Amino acid sequence: MKTSVPIEERGYVNSDILVTTDWVAQHKDDKNVRLVESNEDILLYASGHIPGAVQVDWTTDLNDPVTRDYLSAPKFAQLMSKIGVTPDTTVVFYGDKSNWWAAYALWVFSLFGHKKVKLMDGGRAKWEAEKRELTRDIPKFESTDYPVPTRDDSKIRAFRDQVLEHVKATRPLVDVRSPLEFTGERLHMEDYPNEGALRGGHIPGAANVPWARAANEDGTFKTADELKAIYCEEKGLKKDDDIVVYCRIGERSSHTWFVLSHLLGFEKVRNYDGSWTEWGNLVGAPIEKP
């Protein structure tokens, strides 16, 4: 397996947003650091996790139980207080699937303005591959008085009406799903139930760049030059473009949002979390197929 280039040598605009497994091993007990594991498979955490890590479940912790939206600002403050986080706490996310859900959780935290966020490069799989310590002990932290924030959906989140305007204006869209989802042959990834939308295809004008192209085999991120070759040279994206990324429910596109925004420094990238489960069910929404 190819050895990853050290983070500081990869040419990222914001290399500080990533930390290594070594860094986590050295800082996991720091009082001003909170490790957060967020997985697609919610049973993984109970089977063993990095010592000191708390679990943030994308379904029960980050989403409203009734409305298809994220938790309210008061509920977010309650969550942060429960896991012992203050506005000055550095929250380090990691998880399965090459950090899909970890990037998604980081994106949601960013909606609420928590600035001290990082991603552990390579995620849970890299930690396990290095045979590092895992525990089943659930950490307990003293509750904090986290102030109720203001959630800002205007900068990094896109809604369906905004996407419709985006299509009309022929601005760039990036569909990060698999090629078969992009063509409409499937409504979900392979090895998953083929469900979630009434129609298949993609949003008109979207370019297909499967999210996993940004990652190496070990789940770490490719270098800036490798990423630029994909997004800039191959797809023609520019740093000052107004870009919308999407997938099926917003988790894979959070990974691409992270790459474009934090690693390559693109100035305006929004994640359309309604994604294909919304667009593929919208009455009258335009759809393209090859």
Give the ranges where the chain is alpha helix by DSSP (H): 21-27, 44-47, 73-82, 100-111, 123-129, 160-168, 179-183, 224-228, 251-258, 275-279
| 93 DSSP β-pair partners | 36, 119
Q: Which residues are catalytic?
A: 247
Residue 121: C-alpha distances to residues 31, 37, 83 (Å)? 21, 13, 22
Amino acid at 29: D
Radius of gyration of the chain (CA): 19
- Beta-carbon contacts of 249 under 8 Å, excluding residues fewer than 6 positions away, are 196, 273, 275, 276, 277
Joined together, the tokens standing for residue 240 give: 């000052």
